[in-house]
Amino acid sequence: MDPIEIRVPHTVQRPQATTNHGPIAHSLQPIVTGTSVVAFKYKDGIMMAADCLGSYGSMAMFRDERRLLSVGDSTLVGMSGDISDYQHMKHTLENIMTQEYDMDDGQGLGTKSIYKCMSKIMYNRRCKFDPLLNTYVVAGVDGGDKFLGYVDLLGTTYESPTIATGYGLHMAQPILRKRVEGREDEITEEEAVAILDDCMRVLYYRDARSFNRLIRGKVTAQGVEITEPYSLDTNWSFAESIVGYGA
């Protein structure tokens, strides 16, 4: 008796042809990213800004990415780095705040508690060799005190009256040190907006991954406010004096 041959469509993969994908793999580099966040203390609270660009490599692909997040009633969080890891952190914080609400014990998480929680999450992921590829700026008014802190993908933390991430660490931080540090209790809201806009304008001129569409947030004793996206007035006439411009 001749053996029976079963023919299967060419689109069906035979079991012996399956491949072994190896061990579980982790993200080694960010894919869609957001650039600088700039924040500082002023007379009434904390001011923070970030642009709305999500860069796919060097492509300015997503132009409405909101990288400022309100957490609870008195905390503002800004993010630099991978957008998908930011979405994971956002969902994690939402779950934590929901659990706190469900406890219904009259207690809530303040800014410092949220900051410590985020630092532990980042450090825990770093210890698993699967870090969240982000840098966060956490601002708030906690117990009447203004708070501004930094946490990165390694779980490194520090507090400062002025903080900038990404390219802003090189371009915006010198402006903040000159115009803000030592004057935190004197700067009005109008002056704070002007300083922040100047920082974001310089970053738009100098950072190839920035975009002239940004959002600004502030946190005061009255709560958190985040603006709708807006653009800054720019002037590129200075570029004509740069050697090689337009060549």
Extract the tokens encoding 140: 């708030």
Residue 191: in which H helix or E strand, if any? Answer: helix 189-206
Q: First vs last Cα of the chain: how many Å apart?
A: 81
pLDDT tens string, the chain, 247 residues long: the values are 566 665 545 554 555 544 556 666 667 788 999 999 999 999 999 999 999 999 998 899 999 999 999 998 899 999 999 999 999 999 999 999 998 888 888 777 899 999 999 999 999 999 999 999 999 999 999 888 999 999 999 999 999 999 999 999 999 999 999 999 999 999 999 999 999 999 999 999 989 889 999 999 999 999 999 999 999 998 888 777 777 766 5
Residue 142 burial (CB < 10 Å; 0-12/13-18/19+)? middle
Please tell me the pTM assigned to this model. Answer: 0.85
Between β-strands 59-62 and 54-56, what pairing exists: parallel, antiparallel or unpaired? antiparallel
